[in-house]
Homo-oligomer: A and B are copies of this chain.
């Protein structure tokens, strides 16, 4: 994944309303109006958040007739997760090698 794509992905996740939408969609697909109904913001604001989630690959939407249905796009979640896991495991391997060196010196 390119640097500017990761920028957009983490930027999209940095907002509590957008994380709430992601969380709701992991329980199943929903229409834009179903997503907006419980939220204390305007429909236009929800649409904007959904566009940000779609642009970075976390959500996929499809319009049939007058209803736009939104689904989670697990590849987006996985891309962000992979980036974090790779850095964490790199650090853990580094710590393990350090422990080995200390063992040898004993």
Which residues of A are interface residues toward B (Cβ below 8 A)?
3-4, 6-11, 13-16, 19, 22-23, 25-28, 72, 74, 77-78, 80-81, 83-85, 87-88, 90-92, 94
Contact = CB atoms under 8 A, between A and B. Distances in A.
A28 to B, nearest CB: 6
Contacts of A14: 6-11, 14
Given A11-B14, A14-B10, A16-B7, A87 B94 contact: no
A27 B4 CA distance: 23
A87 B91 contact: no
SS of A interface (majority): helix
B72 A23 contact: no
A94 B3 contact: no
Nearest to A84: B81
Contacts of A15: 7
B10 A91 contact: no
A40 to B, nearest CB: 15
Contacts of A88: 26, 74, 77-78, 81
